């Protein structure tokens, strides 16, 4: 990223400080959802402010990354996985910009929660640079910040979940509400409770992230270079029924 700088964006939900810069002669915004130095836990991330801010900056396509735990032998430590569905087990997070009154009410469509067009772009980039990405996984979002119990993991498995994490919801929902494309690459950093043979720790996740972070950065860069800013999918009409406010 060239001409990199931190900027301040005021939103109705609070102040956000994304990093902006240029990549392949186009503008790119980098947002660390946990804040700089990873200080904000998943249940306290200001999702609405983050998503609002990048939309204000003109972003139309969001490429998210997320550390995930694996619930299935099909998804192994160190793999990159494109999410295609989610189960929402969060408990206490604002999930919408549309809170009635003047803002209206929006029941946003979630048939394809993760943009099919951006996902195709990621897969194409992964082929070009020879970095394998598994295509399609059901992500269960938990409230956190604690890890799950083995009983919860068994329940999520029986419901069809493949991966577990704490951040994709409501991020993916809010992006659609503002008409942005959103795709997410899961980085398998640990095995879930009851599958792993040892207690879980944040240190283990961060250690796995080091290597995976470098890989995923290459993939994001190649995808960015391949993608155009125009949206040739249904995401932009996510809020068509009520419009912006």
Decide: is 108 part of the binding site for Zn ion (CB under 5 A): no
β-strand 80-82 against 26-30: which pairing, if any? unpaired
Question: Considering beta carbons, is residue 65 or 190 the nearer one to Zn ion?
Answer: 65
Decide: is 29 part of the binding site for Zn ion (CB under 5 A): no
The answer to whether 223 touches 178, Cβ cutoff 8 Å, is no
DSSP conformational letter for 112: S
**Cα–Cα distance measured from residue 1 to residue 20, given in angstroms and rounded to the nearest whole number:** 9
In the list 51, 63, 175, 181, the residue contacting Zn ion (rule: CB under 5 A) is: 181
Q: How far is CA 216 from the centre of its chain?
A: 13
In the list 31, 45, 54, 115, the residue contacting Zn ion (rule: CB under 5 A) is: 115
Question: Considering beta carbons, is residue 155 or 233 the nearer one to Zn ion?
Answer: 233
Decide: is 212 part of the binding site for Zn ion (CB under 5 A): no
Q: How far is CA 16 from the centre of its chain?
A: 17
Decide: is 59 part of the binding site for Zn ion (CB under 5 A): no
Which residues, other chains included, contact 24 with Cβ-Cβ below 8 Å and sequence gap of 6+? 224, 225
Question: Considering beta carbons, is residue 121 or 186 the nearer one to Zn ion?
Answer: 121
How many residues bind Zn ion (CB under 5 A)? The answer is 5
Question: Considering beta carbons, is residue 42 or 170 the nearer one to Zn ion?
Answer: 170
Question: Considering beta carbons, is residue 127 or 230 the nearer one to Zn ion?
Answer: 230
What angle (nearest 5°) sits at the alpha carbon of residue 36, between those of residues 75 and 208? 25
Q: Of the listed pieces 5-13, 72-80, 158-166, 178-186, which binds Zn ion according to CB under 5 A?
A: 178-186
Decide: is 172 part of the binding site for Zn ion (CB under 5 A): no
Decide: is 82 part of the binding site for Zn ion (CB under 5 A): no
Give one word for 221, left, alpha or beta, with left for phi > 0 and alpha for psi -120 to 50. Answer: alpha
* Other Cβ atoms within 10 Å of 157 Cβ, number: 17
Contact positions vs Zn ion (CB under 5 A): 115, 117, 181, 233, 235
């Amino acid at each position: 990223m060239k001409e990199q700088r931190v900027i301040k964006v005021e939103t109705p939900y609070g102040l956000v400080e994304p990093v902006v810069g240029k990549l392949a002669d186009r503008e790119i915004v980098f947002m660390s959802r946990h804040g700089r130095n990873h200080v904000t836990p998943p249940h306290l991330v200001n999702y609405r402010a983050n998503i609002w801010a990048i939309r204000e900056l003109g972003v139309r396509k969001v490429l998210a990354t997320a550390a995930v735990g694996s619930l299935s032998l099909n998804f192994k430590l160190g793999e990159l996985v494109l999410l295609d569905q989610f189960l929402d087990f969060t408990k206490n997070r604002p999930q919408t910009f549309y809170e009635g009154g003047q803002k209206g009410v929006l029941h946003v469509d979630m048939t394809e929660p993760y943009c099919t067009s951006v996902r195709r772009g990621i897969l194409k980039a992964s082929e070009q640079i020879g970095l394998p990405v598994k295509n399609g996984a059901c992500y269960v979002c938990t409230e956190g910040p604690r890890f799950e119990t083995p009983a919860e993991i068994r329940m999520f498995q029986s419901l069809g979940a493949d991966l577990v994490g704490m951040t994709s919801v409501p991020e993916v929902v809010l992006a659609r509400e503002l008409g942005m494309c959103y795709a997410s690459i899961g980085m398998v950093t640990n095995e879930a409770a009851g599958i792993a043979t040892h207690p879980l720790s944040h240190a283990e996740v961060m250690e796995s992230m080091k290597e995976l972070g470098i890989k995923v950065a290459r993939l994001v860069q190649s995808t960015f270079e391949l993608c155009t800013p125009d949206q040739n999918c249904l995401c932009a009409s996510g809020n068509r029924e009520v419009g912006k406010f």
